[in-house]
Structure 1
Amino acid sequence: MSPIAPIFFIHLPKSGGSSIMSFFELNAGKDAYAHCDWDTHDQAKTVDKLGSSGVGGGHQPYGYHRISRTPLNYVTVLRDPLARQISHYWYARTGKNGEEFTSYSHAEAMVMAGKISLDTWVADSLDGGNLAVRMLSGMGKASKEALALAKENIDRRFLLAGQCEDISEFLLLLCGRTNLNLPFFSPTNITNVGNVERVSVSDAAAEKFKAENALDYELYGYVRDILDRDVALLGSAFKTALESVRQIQARVDILENPLRFKATGAGFDANHLSSVHSLVSGCDLRAINAFLQSARAVQRPRQHFYDGVVDEVNNDVIRGWAVNLGDPGRPVTVDVVSDGHIIESIVANQKREDVAKAGYGSNSAGFSLPLTPAIAACASFSVRYSGTTEFLRDGEGWRNGWHHA
């Protein structure tokens, strides 16, 4: 049996992510979570920690497997897009709960100074339009193509996507697909508005936001449909276990919690984590454990993660490399596509000692595809992994004349 890939949590801002981080530390141990935002000054150390602890993540888009150079079990949680946007505004308005040593975007700084209203923040999507689509696709721009790739990623490359509105549901499903046993969390970094006067967003601003973030709303509904399907298939065992989780979580929620309204910059409080453990250990977990045992008996299909680059395009050849990170010895096929149609395909099995020296586990991952008349006749083309809609790095948007769009 191949080793279990690390869990990588893609943390969409203001979607319950800090609370979910407490779940990982409750299960894996204090300071086990590899913060893949904070430690970018020593990325190799962060990747090593992710591999050894098995849990980590951050405000990173899909694609961290290209940095870790290993398959990952991606998980994420989405939130109603308008609710997330409003929450982010108040978080910025209160100075991010007084968090020290944090960074602010220009728009966040203007909000904190009272220079940007809630209506302007929402109507202009100032924390990023269609952010979930962009992050879960790994593409820089939101588009129908990015939405399709985000859906494909969730279907084929994510262990689980949940919704912030029901964290207990997400955590119980996640425990059923991993070796983590405690589907509980500590409410963390909840926005403390304090004395700041709360106002409501106008209907006009809300409607403009919804129209301009339609891709995010479609993805949010798509995830809900998948969750509803999965829960229905799990039947009464899941429903009984989830009721037990909710009852225990209600008791966890009222424990004294030093990080309820604070960020986790200094890490989670060991005494609080211990108190959660003590509370949970005294509860009846039989329904939860019975569900986990049955859920883990289900075999899940193996996911494939790729990395590769288009190194060069000229008047004679398209040259690059591609590798299957989970099975480097298996050659990868790449397609040249234009307007959604496959123009040419090639197996990446040529010698590339530089790829092996870079740590990718294969010295036979190169491809060199002659620029055929069919390709040359295209106004533009892209290079993607065969059977997917995922492009190689530097593989998207080559224009005739062989430059990027």
Structure 2
Amino acid sequence: MSEGLLDIFMHIPKTGGTTLNELFKKQYKLNEIFDHDSFQLKMMKMDELTDMEKRNIKAITGHYFYGIHQEFSRPFNYFTMLREPVDRVISSYYFLKDYPGYEMVKNMTLEEFVVKGPEAPNLQTLMVCGSQEKPDIEKAKENLKTFTVVGVTELFNETLFCLKKAYSWGDIHYTRKNITKNRLAKEEVPSPLKNLIRKYNALDMELYDYAKKLLYEKLQSLTAEEQRQLAKFKLEQSALN
């Protein structure tokens, strides 16, 4: 009996992934998904899973780098969401300032965080290329080419629609989760500081543009009926949020 394809959501921090993750989890039973180092509502590392539990798992979601599929000896597919790097770094800074385990960020200025903060320089490229140490933009692009869907936060509804089509998901209407409050908007950050973020995230800027290109290609391939359905979904969502 085939164990089937393993669906993997590579959740990059502060890309709108918490909202997406809630929708993703609804598609599976509790014993079918390994979610952010937890299984069936209990904290657990992946290497603690039994062989039987691994066989039953159909999906993985979490802040995992590309390569997590190597824990399972079966076919797999990935999807992910990227975010405009300047906005992602600003959001990450204000979120981590009050997050347990990141006390070092509390006393950092945004400028200090950009240069040496955790989850700041080129994090998206690091995660997608699968390296814990050195971001490889070409490897990251090669990996993205193999993903079932590559979304971007700024086109969240369009991304969701492509995911629904690719994975035959049910209802994808949502309310936003884990929004960083009490933060400066991108427009409020001084231009020299935004330029510094771009400098330290040059690879992420390139990868983000590539991700948008991949998503636009999917959107352009939609049929006229699918485009109508997408427009209807976006109208419904604007009324909800």
TM range (shorter): 0.7 to 0.9
SS in 2 for 1:249: helix
Compared with structure 1, are the counterparts of its residues 136 and 27 closer, same or farther at alpha carbon in structure 2 (3 Å cutoff)?
same
Structure 1 CA distance, aligned partners of 2:162 and 2:51? 26
Secondary structure of the equivalent of 1:24? helix
Contact 2:83-2:208 within 8 A present in 1 as well: yes
Choose which of 188, 204, 221 in structure 2 pairs with 1:233.
221
1:192 aligns with 2:186: no
Aligned-partner residue type, residue 203 of structure 2? L
Question: Which residue number corresponds to residue 200 of structure 2?
Answer: 212
Instruction: Show the counterpart of 1:111.
Output: 105
Deviation of 1:81 (Å): 0.8
Distance in 1 between residues matched to 2:33 and 2:151, nearest whole Å: 19
In structure 1, stretches of 5+ residues that fail to align are: 97-102, 254-405
Amino acid across the alignment from 2:141: K
Q: Does 1:66 align with 2:66?
A: no
Question: Which residue matches 2:144?
Answer: 154
Q: Deviations over 1:299-331 (max 9, x none)?
A: xxxxxxxxxxxxxxxxxxxxxxxxxxxxxxxxx
Paired residues, number? 236
* Contact persistence 1:134–1:140 (CA under 8 A): yes
- Is 2:168 the partner of 1:179? yes
Q: Which residue of 1 aligns with 2:7?
A: 7
Q: CA offset at residue 44 of structure 1?
A: 4.3
Structure 1 residues 30-49: Cα deviation after superposition (integer angstroms, max 9, x where no partner):
68642143444353438865
Counterparts of residues 131-150 of structure 1 (less than 5 Å): 131-143=123-135, 146-150=136-140
Aligned position for 2:17:
17
Larger-gyration structure (1/2): 1
Q: Which structure's relative contact order is higher, taking Cα pairs within 8 Å and 6+ residues apart?
A: 2
CA-atom RMSD, angstroms? 2.8
Give 1:167's aligned residue.
Answer: 156
8 A contact 2:114–2:121 mirrored in 1 = no
Question: CA offset at residue 227 of structure 1?
Answer: 1.2
1:34–1:55 contact (8 Å) kept in structure 2? yes
- Counterparts of 1:46 and 1:252, CA distance in 2: 41
C-alpha distance 24-222 of structure 1, shift in aligned 2 (>3 A): same
Superposed counterparts of 1:2-401, under 5 Å? 4-28=4-28, 33-38=33-38, 39-41=43-45, 43-45=47-49, 52=56, 54-93=58-97, 95-96=98-99, 103-104=100-101, 108-112=102-106, 115-124=107-116, 126-143=118-135, 146-156=136-146, 158-193=147-182, 200-253=188-241
Q: 1:197 to 1:218 in 2, by over 3 A?
A: closer
Distance in 1, matches of 2:138 and 2:185, equals 37
Q: Residue 220 of structure 1: CA displacement?
A: 0.4
More helix by share: 2
Answer whether contact 2:65 2:127 (CA < 8 A) is retained.
yes
What percent of counterpart residues are identical? 26
Q: Which amino acid aligns with 2:126?
A: R
How far the C-alpha of 1:57 sits from its partner, in A, is 1.2
Distance 1:177 1:135 in 2: 23
